[in-house]
């Protein structure tokens, strides 16, 4: 593997780390919000 490919590989790895990292962040935020909504709705019914 040439030195150039180390930088190319790092660039693509960083790109996917950011893409997947942000995807996970959004899904976690959504799941947390949905749990809060379900909890608040259940509390409101009691």
Partner 1 sequence: MSNAAIAPAIAVPRTGGWQKFGWFAFVFLIGSQALAIAISPPDRDMGDLQKIMYVHVPSAWMTMLAPLALLFFSLRYLWRRHEEDDLLAAAAGEVAVAFSGLTLVLGMLWARPTWGVWWTWDARLTSTLVLFLILAGFLSVRALIDDREQRAQWSAAVGILGAINVPIVYMSVRWWRTIHQIQSSPATVDPAYVIGLRLNAFAFLFVMIYFIRRRYEAALIERAAEHVAERAALGGSA
Binding residues (CB under 8 A) for partner 1: these are 2-5, 7-8, 10-12, 14-15, 18-19, 22-23, 26-27, 29-30, 33-34, 36-37, 39-41, 43-45
Measured from the CB of residue 5, what is the shortest distance to partner 1 in angstroms?
A: 6
Measured from the CB of residue 9, what is the shortest distance to partner 1 in angstroms?
A: 10
Measured from the CB of residue 38, what is the shortest distance to partner 1 in angstroms?
A: 8
Angle at 20 between CA 7 and CA 22, to 5 degrees: 110
**C-alpha–C-alpha distance, residues 29 and 7, integer Å:** 32
**C-alpha–C-alpha distance, residues 15 and 24, integer Å:** 14
């Amino acid at each position: 593997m040439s030195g150039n490919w180390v930088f190319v590989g790092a660039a693509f790895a960083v790109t996917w780390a950011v893409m997947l990292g942000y995807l996970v962040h959004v899904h976690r935020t959504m799941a947390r919000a949905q749990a809060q909504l379900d909890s608040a709705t259940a509390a409101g019914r009691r």
